Structure 1
């Protein structure tokens, strides 16, 4: 669960930036600007990162409303093992995925990510989890995310191979998982994939 003060600072920045977009009063704009500056400074302190990392943190899409970013992950299970890729950025393992690109559906996004990161063609079959990152034990993040997890059908029988952003790509049994990139997925996300891929109703875990 996310730290209370981190959650409050993120919410404060979101309210300030939404107010900046909608206000027509110059004095209110000054007040929102100051509130936003304070919130960014709080986030920089809490995240122990330079203030420049906080600038432009919140997207100005959705008509001016500050909204969460979206991270999409795909679970590809073959012969009782799950596909993981080793990220170049931290050397740890994760289900293929990343930021959702504008202009593509969630299914198109994850099918492309699996191809780019593991060299396999897949078809997104159903969503098995929709999580608010802040409500789960991921490492603290000054950004706010919704995480979408899909069960994907493997339509390519070839061996996985790494892409531009990955060092390795391989299948792993549930009892032999490598060290996971916890900013991307938790063990519980991987375990849920094995459970949700088993025969039965395609229910969705959500916050």
Structure 2
């Protein structure tokens, strides 16, 4: 299913749902950030996805990272909570979601970056490379907050 990200777009469609979702900020020993290139829109992003029934939200972060990247992580904290009503995601099936995402801090445990149905590429990205790849502004904000190692989670 294709998706279009609308960020501060006054002509964006009105949202029809809010779904609890996560993203995960993980760095390796060299300080590189684990990113995927999404198959649904071609943009680079932190791994993540929607919470399943019967699942703790931290379990969602671990599962989604494993499914999308092949990397096992441990949740170590919260980078922030992202609920910008001016960020909506329009899906090809007609659903339009208002942004609601908890970005977790994760610690790399094991595994090698491996693609999935949701990721056409997976790799560790240096801070210098971040400006060279297409990333949605909302996702870039989460990455920046993760790199800043803020003392308190972002709430916005």
Instruction: Give the structure-1-normalised TM-score.
Output: 0.61
Structure 2 residue corresponding to 1:145, chosen from 86, 99, 105:
99
Asked if 1:165 is matched to 2:118, the reply is yes
Q: Would you tell me which structure has more helix in proportion to its own residues? A: 1
Unaligned runs of 5+ in 1: 7-45, 49-53, 59-67
Asked if 1:109 is matched to 2:63, the reply is no
Counterparts of 2:36 and 2:77, CA distance in 1: 21
* CA RMSD in angstroms, aligned pairs only: 2.6
Question: 1:141-200 deviations in whole A, cap 9, x for unaligned?
Answer: 6432321000001011x42111121111001111212211x28x432211111112xxx7
Q: What SS does structure 2 have at the residue aligned with 1:133? A: coil
Could you say which residue in structure 2 is the equivalent of 1:71?
A: 21
Counterparts of 2:48 and 2:89, CA distance in 1: 19
Highest RCO, 1 vs 2 (Cα 8 Å, sep ≥ 6): 2
Q: Would you tell me which structure has more strand in proportion to its own residues? A: 2
Unaligned runs of 5+ in 2: 1-6, 91-95
Equivalent residues, number: 142
Instruction: Give the structure-2-normalised TM-score.
Output: 0.79
